[in-house]
Amino acid sequence: MNKKILSLVLAATLTVSMLFGCGNTSTGQADAGEESISDETIVDNAAENTEETASEGTITLSMAFHNTEEFYEESIVPIVEEFKQIHPEVKDITYTTLSGMGDEQQVTRLTGGQYEDIVLVPTILLASEWSNYFAPLGDASEMAEKYYYGDYMQYEGQSYGIPIGVVYEGLLYNKKVLEQYCDGNVPKTLDELLDDCAKLQENGVIGFYTNAGSIWTMRYWDNLAITMSDDPDYANKIVDTQEPWAEGSSLRDSADLLARLASGGYLEPDVVTADQWDISLTSLGSGQTAFMFTGTWALSQAQDHAVEAGFSADDIGFAPFPYKNDVNADNKLNLRVAQDVFLGVNKNSENLDLAKEFCAFFCERVSLAMGMNEIMIDGGKNQPDLAFLQELDYVQTYTSPARDSKIAEMAGIAGIDVYNFDGFLLDYVILPVLNGGEPEYDKLNEAWKKNF
Amino acid sequence: MAKMNRLAAKRQREKNKIIIAFLIVPLLFLLYFTVYPVVTMLLYSFTDWKGSATPFSVLGVKNYVEIFTTDTYRNIFKTASYYLVAGIVQQLISLFLAVIMGKALRGSGIFKGFIFFPFIMNGVAVSMVFRMFYQIGGGLDVLLKAIGMEQCIRVWMTNPVTSNICLAFIYLWKNVGYSFLIYLGTMQSVPGEYYDAAAIDGAGMWMQFKEITFPAIKMIIGMMVTLSIVGSISVFDIPYVLTNGKNSTNSFATTLVETAFTYSRYGLACAMAIIMLLLAAIVMVFKNMVFKEENDNGYNR
């Protein structure tokens, strides 16, 4: 009998503790999500007690960004302080790092409903979903007049994100290696580029480090198609094209160029293993690799790696991607001014207007520290290392208009992440070539046709 | 007498009430956290749901047809076959090790620890270690060079066959300890007298294994094979960390994640999850049918 009573008591305790457990968890979550409110309350109470604190701010905003805590201390805190001077009612802006968190996890955070006032917009989120999580930041055409790519995240005429900076897309190269094997010539035409790669290969230097295994690094090759097409709106044409990789299309030409580099043996030997970003930068910095095709945001990172490898930061340079021949002042190379990631504002934010203001304030100021150019069309500053680009008479810059939201949906149906991460280039272009075959454009076209 | 019966019945009713009262909370949890998601998943698998509140339309079995008619999705089954073979080899190796370790050998405790250790390590960490192991000039290349097999060195990850074999090996390596432990535990529960008697009758080691050990652990072998089949379909961390599921290494789980999150096709992803569930269920039912019958007629301790 005693045993029975004991087991009943135990069971009851367990059940009750389970319920307590639930209670605690939900309160905990509410605390995390509504930090601003509880802080506010505390400060309010404090303000009632002493008059000095009344002049201090009462509002706490929160932001989540993909940079590290160190970057926050160095570069974000000064921006926050500046903002607090304009808005004394702001007490603090808390920071959550999304460093190392993939897009999938970021979307899960959003769908879970517990996310910060100012937060990165995950690249994989469909445009039609933005309004479920983010507040509109203004009329898209007005934003476009003010910022580069100000209208890029537009849906039904409203902008949902502000870019944190703009970059150029082109070649990062190791000057030392080019001096040693290619007479110091930075390739200005396609033939020069291929010549350089051949010479480098003879000397055991990797021509291009694509990082294809990391997938996101491949998006520059699709953007190259826009660059090659001379039509800034080229990407959106895919919506009405049944065979985007047909003979003669720019998408095919850019992929063909990649295939040519692969068949020449100019790419890094292991294109499949994932997450080789740091290794690729070390390889470039230490002179084992000559070129990488990426955005200028990576320039400072590559320079840091060069210094770590015992070389000088000046050894790493940037050049427009030489995708054609006979380049001169009349036949200019297009250089894409590219968007990077975008910050949006939580539509359920307690302080929506302040959050919107801080979002713009932050995006206008953080770019240079991130290794990017500023987003303001009037008076935005460029990276000092890249000022020379404006003086080159054979280069012209361009920006792309907002991307059609249908592309992502069609990409989903086709199973081809075109104009997003472009992992398909590895499976359909690079690997078939490396395994002795041809790029599989027919399969790509066939998959895309499922949309029609 | 009637009064006593009534009392007993009353007590029984009260007992039932208590049982129900205590069961209701865990049952609700079970319903909400297990049954409800599975049912909604099944419903969503017939739609083109995009993962949030936006409206969706009903597609019928179109998602299921797509899975079986698209190359990328069909490749899942090919990938699973590599892990399946690895799973079977893993059973053989662990059975072999368990038989050896079952004897009281000197230092077997340490070896047991070594064999089991990979299983308790985090799957992502193991995958990251193996990422370095398979890299150019990594551990595997160094090892091959050391034993004079330089001609075998290649870029392991660029060929779809070698990359899948490499990945399946990680699965084998990591899980050998688990089945080893289960086999060892079951073997040790076989009374020693049987072996003593068999030894007196002149049975050798192989005979002892065949006539005593094997019949005793047959059920467990069935269970472990079933688990390894199910595991081979649902492997995720290894291909995700090493190759992102590229180069024909996409498993059911990596493709599912890609479909749901990269392409926002949650409806299709739900259909994949349902197929995965069905496959696991079929294997389980098959296993029960085969082994139940044998258990009735076979060795019974």
Range of A88's domain?
38-50+58-163+340-370
pLDDT at A49 over 60: no
Whole-number pLDDT of residue A17: 46
Which residues 6+ apart lie within 8 Å of A216 measured at CB?
A421
Q: Is A215 a member of any domain?
A: yes
Tell whether A91 is covered by a domain. yes
Q: Is residue A70 domain-shared with residue A173, that is, in the same domain? A: no
Instruction: Residue A222: name the closest of A190, A257, A177 by CA.
Output: A257
pLDDT value at residue B59: 86
Looking up residue A45, the CATH number of its domain turns out to be: 3.40.190.10
- pLDDT of A1 > 70? The answer is no
Per-residue pLDDT, averaged over B213-234, amounts to 87
Look at residue A114 and tell me whether its pLDDT is greater than 50: yes
Whether A306 contacts A88, CB under 8 Å = no
Put simply, the answer to whether A111 touches B247 (Cβ < 8 Å) is no
In-domain check, residue A2: no
Q: How confident is the model at residue B192 (pLDDT cuts 50, 70, 90)?
A: confident
Determine contact: A348 vs chain B, CB below 8 A. no
Both A72 and A96 in one domain: the answer is yes
Provide mean pLDDT across the span B73-100: 91
User: Same domain, yes or no, for A364 and A401?
Assistant: no
Query: For A325-341, what is each residue's pLDDT tens digit?
Result: 988 889 999 999 988 88
Task: Summarize the confidence of residues B285-290 as an average pLDDT.
Answer: 85
Shared domain for A173 and A307, answered yes or no, is: yes
- Whether residues B157 and A111 touch (CB distance < 8 A) is answered with no
Q: State the nearest Cα–Cα gap between B92 and chain A, in angstroms.
A: 30
Domains of chain A: total: 2
Residue indicated by tokens 């919506």 = A239
Query: Which of B53, B157, B263 lies closest to A272 in CB terms?
Result: B157
**Contact residues on chain B for A16, CB-CB shorter than 8 A:** none
CA distance B52 to chain A (A): 7
Q: Which residue has the higher pLDDT, A104 or B75?
A: B75
Residue identified by tokens 């089991």 is: B116
Q: Quick one: closest CA in A to B19, which residue?
A: A8
**CA A35 to chain centroid:** 28
Report whether pLDDT(A177) > 60. yes
Does the pLDDT value for residue A206 go beyond 80? yes
Give the best residue of B170, B247, B265 to mutate against chain A (max A CB count within 10 A).
B247
Whether A200 and A304 map to the same domain: the answer is yes
Whether A4 is in a domain gets the answer: no
CB contact under 8 A, B241 and A427: no
Answer yes or no: do A248 and A315 share one domain: yes
The verdict on a CB contact (< 8 Å) between A271 and B158 is yes
pLDDT reading at A5 higher than 90: no
Question: Both A400 and A426 in a single domain?
Answer: yes
- Res. B170 pLDDT band, cuts 50 70 90: very high
- Residue B218 maps to a domain: yes
**DSSP result, A149-168:** TTTTTEETTEE--EES-EEE
- CATH number of the domain residue B110 falls in: 1.10.3720.10
Other CB atoms within a 10 A radius of the CB of residue B182 amount to 18
State the maximum Cα–Cα separation within chain B, in Å, rounded to a whole number.
91
Provide residues of B within 8 Å CB-CB of chain A.
18, 22, 25, 50-54, 70-72, 131, 134-136, 155, 157-160, 163, 241-244, 246-248, 257, 261-265
* A2 has pLDDT over 80: no
* Cross-chain Cβ contact A11/B241 below 8 Å: no
* Pair A124, A178 in one domain: no
Across B52-61, B226-235, B279-288, least confident range: B52-61
Q: In the predicted model, what is the mean pLDDT of residues A35-63? A: 53
What are A90's strand-pairing partners?
A59
**Mean pLDDT, residues A293-316:** 91
A7 within some domain: no
Distance of CA B244 to the CA centre of its chain: 21
Would residue B182 count as lying in a domain? yes
- Is A337 near chain B, with CB under 8 Å? no
Tens of pLDDT, residue by residue over A409-421, are: 899 889 898 988 8
Chain A residue nearest residue B53, CA to CA: A132
In a domain, A159, yes or no: yes
Which of B11, B263, B265, B272 to probe by mutation at the A interface, max A CB count within 10 Å? B263
A37-44: long-range contacts, CB 8 A cutoff, minimum separation 24: A37/A350, A39/A91, A39/A92, A43/A91
Q: Shortest CB distance from B261 goes to which of A104, A409, A427?
A: A104
Q: Are A173 and A198 found together in one domain? A: yes
Query: Range of B152's domain?
Result: 70-297
| DSSP-assigned states of every residue in B139-186 | HHHHHHHHTT-GGG---TTTSHHHHHHHHHHHHHHHHHHHHHHHHHHH
Residue A141 near residue A147, CB atoms below 8 Å: no
Contact B253, B234 (CB under 8 A): yes
Query: Residue for token digits 């599975």?
Result: B38
The tens digit of pLDDT for each residue in B249-273 reads: 999 899 998 898 888 889 999 999 9
Count: domains in chain B: 1
Which chain A positions have a beta carbon within 8 Å of B25's beta carbon?
A: 15, 18-19
Q: How confident is the model at residue A51 (pLDDT cuts 50, 70, 90)?
A: very low
Asked if the Cβ–Cβ distance from A132 to B134 is below 8 Å, we say no
Handedness of CA A351, A353, A359, A361 (dihedral sign): negative
Which strand (E) or helix (H) includes residue B205? helix B205-208
User: Would you call A127 an interface residue with chain B, using a CB distance cutoff of 8 Å?
Assistant: no
Task: Flag if B25 and A15 touch (Cβ within 8 Å).
Answer: yes
Q: Mark whether A309 and A441 lie in a shared domain.
A: yes
Percentage with pLDDT > 70 across chain B: 95
Domain shared by A140 and A239, yes or no: no
Contact list in A for residue B52 (CB cut-off 8 A) is 111, 129, 132
Specify if A19 maps to a domain. Answer: no
pLDDT of residue B301: 43
Q: Which residues contact B238 (CB under 8 A, 6 or more apart)?
A: B123, B126, B127, B130, B167, B170, B171
Q: Which amino acid is at A151?
A: D
Phi, psi of B253 (to 5 degrees): -70, -40
* Beta strand pairing call for A138-139 and A158-159: antiparallel
Q: Quick check: ipTM above 0.85?
A: no
Segment A100-129 mean pLDDT? 86
Percent of chain A clearing pLDDT 90 (strictly above): 49
Q: A134 and A75: one domain?
A: yes
A15, A126, A274: residue with CB nearest B50: A126
**What integer is the mean pLDDT of A348-367?**
91
DSSP state of A428: I
Residue pLDDT, tens place only, A120-135: 998 888 888 888 899 9
In a domain, A20, yes or no: no
C-alpha pair distances (Å), B274 with each of A131, A219, B41, B80, B252: 30, 33, 8, 16, 11
- A435 alpha-carbon distance from chain centroid: 31
Report d(CA A340, CA A153) in Å as an integer. 11
* CA separation for the pair B141, A223 (Å, rounded): 37
Q: What is the mean pLDDT of residues B28-41?
A: 93
pLDDT of residue A47 exceeding 80, the answer is no
Residue B105 has pLDDT above 80, yes or no: no
pLDDT at A24: 37
Tell me the per-residue pLDDT of A30-39, one tens digit each, with 9 for 90 and over.
333 333 334 4
User: How close A92 gets to chain B, by Cα (Å)?
Assistant: 32
